[in-house]
Amino acid sequence: MEALERTFTIVNRLGLHARAAARLVQTANRFQSEISVSRNGQNANAKSIMGVLMLAAAQGSTVAVRTDGADGAEAMEAIGALIESGFGEDTG
């Protein structure tokens, strides 16, 4: 399976804070693929809470998600849905 990359906009009001980052990491860890998230040239392993938090992605930020592996398409779909839903939080 080839690597996939998509960009998403962080829509929840508080951005990629601890709880949202934890949800992203939990989702990424359900998959065997290599998954990374990057913002402004800074790249983080999506399975590492510290790495994801270091991106400091506020509301309106654009992040790129990259998956590489057999279940990469499913991982991209799950992570994309999570980000686009605002991590289930207030998007106002």
- The CA distance from 25 to 19, in Å, is 10
User: pTM for this one?
Assistant: 0.94
Of the residues 14, 17, 22, 89, which is catalytic? 17
One-letter identity of residue 67: T
Using CA atoms in the order 69, 71, 73, 78, what is the torsion angle rounded to 10 degrees?
-120
- The CA distance from 58 to 92, in Å, is 13
In the chain the domains, ranked by start, together with CATH numbers, are 4-88 (3.30.1340.10)
- Say whether pLDDT at 26 is over 80: yes
Q: Give yes or no: 75 in active site.
A: no
pLDDT tens string 49-91 = 999 999 999 999 999 999 999 999 999 999 999 999 999 888 8
